[in-house]
Amino acid sequence: MAKYDVAVIGSGPGGYVAAIRCAQLGLKTAIIERYSTLGGTCLNVGCIPSKALLDSSEHYHQAKEQFETHGIKLEKLAVDMPQMIKRKGEVVKQTTDGIDFLMKKNKIDVLHGHGSFKSATQIEIAKEDGSKEEIEASKVIIATGSKPATLPFIKIDKKRIITSTEALELKKVPSKMVVIGGGVIGLELGSVYARLGCEVTIVEYMDSIIPTMDRSMGKELGRSMKKMGVKLLTSHKVKEVTGTSRSVTVKADDKKGKEVVLKADYCLVAVGRRPYTDNLGLENAGVKVNDRGRIEVDEHLESSTKGIFAIGDVIKGAMLAHKAEEEGILVAEYMAGQKPHINYLLIPGVVYTWPEVASVGYTEEQLKENKTPYKVGSFPFKASGRARASMDTDGVVKVLAHEETDEILGVHMCGPRAADMIAEAVVAMEFRASAEDISRMSHAHPTFTEALKEAALAATDNRALHI
Ligand code: FAD
Ligand code: NAD
């Protein structure tokens, strides 16, 4: 039986990064993956393919809606869906091949098959051809990720009632789509199809889209989504979804109990994801899960069984690839005797719509709830020269700073390239900068980042210059 210092179960961004860091630290490492390609949800059916389709659809949308204003004439503009999906597949392949390369480079043994605990140190790998292999590992990292969740009364048939996985593979642009859930997946994939000409209705249970982010962001993004033609039904509770081989019917009640009936080609169910621990044999290793099915871990991400750690979507916290990566690094370094640390408050959240939404730190609602004295500085993109040049004037940057110390407590942006711009706010907050610190730094002109400087100026004694 092969023996390892560390076995990692799951090759998503949590698992493969943990494996690389373990190998870098001199630990003999194996990674187990039930699918034939590495990279997990993120690379195969999540972050990467969705961003590929978001980019393709945004190009089409711009060509259709903005090129003429830019002085560019196009004839016979059309969507070639098979080509769009093919390109997405190529992007995924290049990216997952890259992980194969990284495993070889770091001398990590890759074992394909479904891993399950026989004991706390023994793992059985059931391969696709029916054969089985067992390995022994002094330490194990569980990085088995998550799967789409559904509602008790909805049966996902993967044909008309679909999850994000199927929505990344549609053969042609549907004429109508109902999306259940106005969270990240609903808005990103809803945007893809709306831009391509599909009539998209998003049904959200809460009174705002992206309800867990700063409330002002939901309002800003909602305005842009409506401009694009997306219908938003907030405060609506879905109660029934039925499908035939060609269509779906979704019934929902508004706050007053009034029923709406929506008919469409597809219903995309995007109401969250559930931790994936199916047939993992956790009971054989004494690993406990909480009432939501997530593996319980302590501050070192060690489970109820010593030597078994868990990271990423399968434990508490935001289901984000970069959160999973940081946790993989933390566990590897902790095992190697180091004292790593993650500041969870400063893990940014991004929604890759257009405009993008990006956020770090406390929301205004959280500051109110914690009774933290704060001040707000904001700057709209319509006042940015760079944004006017590229016709990206929707959105705003909002800086929340401590009323007395001026320390930045949160930054929330809805606007062009917000996903990239939020990094500046993360750096500033890691170094506990004040709003004045950002407002005194030179930002190249003309750039979108000037909006952050202006919002910081606005938070610093209302000193914005361009509004
Ligand atoms: P996963 O990536 O889910 O990987 C787990 C792996 O473990 C899988 O490959 C699975 O096959 C394997 N596995 C499970 N059980 C076993 C077993 N018993 N034996 C062997 N292998 C097993 N996050 C972002 O930060 N940015 C984004 O833009 C973003 N976009 C997304 C878009 C979509 C459509 C979706 C669905 C998700 C998106 N996410 C995004 C979330 C992100 O994909 C997850 O947070 C991330 O993949 C979690 O990483 P992980 O390593 O914990 O698990
Ligand atoms: P989510 O939690 O972001 O959104 C789910 C939404 O569905 C919520 O707004 C919720 O209020 C709503 N909802 C729940 N029950 C409902 C009901 N009965 N009727 C109507 N609405 C209902 O979940 P998601 O969008 O499915 O995404 C899953 C996970 O994947 C998220 O945790 C997210 O972090 C991750 N993800 C991240 C990115 C990114 O970082 N850009 C992109 C996609 C997915």
Q: What is the pLDDT of residues 108-135, one digit of tens each?
A: 999 999 999 999 999 999 999 999 999 9
Q: What is the pLDDT of residues 187-243, one digit of tens each?
A: 999 999 999 999 999 999 999 999 999 999 999 999 999 999 999 999 999 999 999
Q: So which residues are the catalytic ones?
A: 445
Handedness of CA 409, 415, 419, 423 (dihedral sign): negative
Mean pLDDT throughout 5-24?
Answer: 98
Confidence band of 55 (pLDDT split at 50, 70, 90)? very high
Q: What percent of the chain has pLDDT over 70?
A: 100
Does residue 462 have a pLDDT over 90? no
- What pLDDT sits at residue 454? 98
Q: Which CATH architecture has domain 2-148+274-344?
A: 3-Layer(bba) Sandwich (3.50)
Compute the distance from residue 417 Cα to the ligand 2 centre, in Å.
22
Residue spans of the domains in the chain: they are 2-148+274-344, 161-271, 355-459
- Closest to 5 measured CA to CA, from 103, 124, 138, 118: 138
Mean pLDDT throughout 277-294?
Answer: 97
- Out of 43-52, 148-157, 457-466, pick the least confident: 457-466
Confidence band of 461 (pLDDT split at 50, 70, 90)? confident
Q: What is the pLDDT of residues 299-335, one digit of tens each?
A: 999 999 999 999 999 999 999 999 999 999 999 999 9
Domains 161-271 and 355-459 share a fold: no
- Closest to 48 measured CA to CA, from 99, 86, 85, 95: 95
- CATH assignment of 161-271, given 3.40.50.620, 2.30.40.10, 3.40.50.300, 3.50.50.60? 3.50.50.60
Handedness of CA 415, 417, 419, 425 (dihedral sign): negative
Q: What is the pLDDT of residues 330-375, one digit of tens each?
A: 999 999 999 999 999 999 999 999 999 999 999 999 999 999 999 9
- Supply the mean pLDDT for the chain: 98
Instruction: Number of helices (H) and strands (E) in the chain: give both, helices first.
Output: 15, 22
Q: Which amino acid is present at 7?
A: A
Quote the CA–CA distance of 248 and 239 in Å, as a whole number.
14
Q: What is the pLDDT of residues 132-184, one digit of tens each?
A: 999 999 999 999 999 999 999 999 999 999 999 999 999 999 999 999 999 99
Pocket flag, ligand 1, residue 348 (CB < 6 Å): no
Q: Which residue's alpha carbon is nearest to atom 40 within ligand 2?
A: 350
Compute the distance from residue 186 Cα to the ligand 2 centre, in Å.
7
Quote the CA–CA distance of 168 and 266 in Å, as a whole number.
13
With the most atoms of ligand 2 within 8 angstroms of its CB, the residue from 185, 240, 292 to mutate is 185
- What pLDDT sits at residue 261? 98
- What pLDDT sits at residue 52? 98
Quote the CA–CA distance of 77 and 85 in Å, as a whole number.
18
Pocket flag, ligand 2, residue 180 (CB < 6 Å): yes
With the most atoms of ligand 1 within 8 angstroms of its CB, the residue from 47, 95, 132, 322 to mutate is 47
HSE, side-chain direction, 13 A CA sphere, residue 166: 15
Does residue 79 have a pLDDT over 90? yes
Q: What is the DSSP string of 136-196?
A: EEEEEEE---EEE---TT----SSSEE-HHHHTS-SS--SEEEEE--SHHHHHHHHHHHHT
Pocket flag, ligand 2, residue 273 (CB < 6 Å): yes
- CATH assignment of 355-459, given 3.30.390.30, 3.20.20.10, 3.40.50.300, 3.90.930.12? 3.30.390.30
Pocket flag, ligand 1, residue 124 (CB < 6 Å): no
- Please give the C-alpha separations between residue 380 and each of 258, 383, 442, 454, in angstroms, as whole numbers: 37, 6, 19, 9
* Nearest ligand 1 atom to alpha carbon 164: 34
Residue whose pair of structure tokens reads 């006017």 in the numeric block: 388
Does residue 432 have a pLDDT over 90? yes
Quote the CA–CA distance of 159 and 138 in Å, as a whole number.
43
Q: Which residue's alpha carbon is nearest to atom 12 within ligand 1?
A: 10
Would you call 430 exposed, middle or buried from its count of C-beta atoms within 10 A (0-12, 13-18, 19+)? exposed
Quote the CA–CA distance of 203 and 452 in Å, as a whole number.
32
Break the chain down into helix, strand, coil percent, rounded to 5: 35, 25, 40
- Closest to 281 measured CA to CA, from 143, 34, 116: 116
Compute the distance from residue 413 Cα to the ligand 1 centre, in Å.
26
Compute the distance from residue 56 Cα to the ligand 1 centre, in Å.
23
Quote the CA–CA distance of 425 and 148 in Å, as a whole number.
31
Q: What is the DSSP string of 9-59?
A: E--SHHHHHHHHHHHHTT--EEEEESSSSSSHHHHHHSHHHHHHHHHHHHH
To the question of pTM greater than 0.95 for the whole model, the response is yes
Quote the CA–CA distance of 43 and 38 in Å, as a whole number.
8
Mean pLDDT throughout 453-463?
Answer: 94
Mean pLDDT throughout 14-20?
Answer: 98
Does residue 428 have a pLDDT over 90? yes
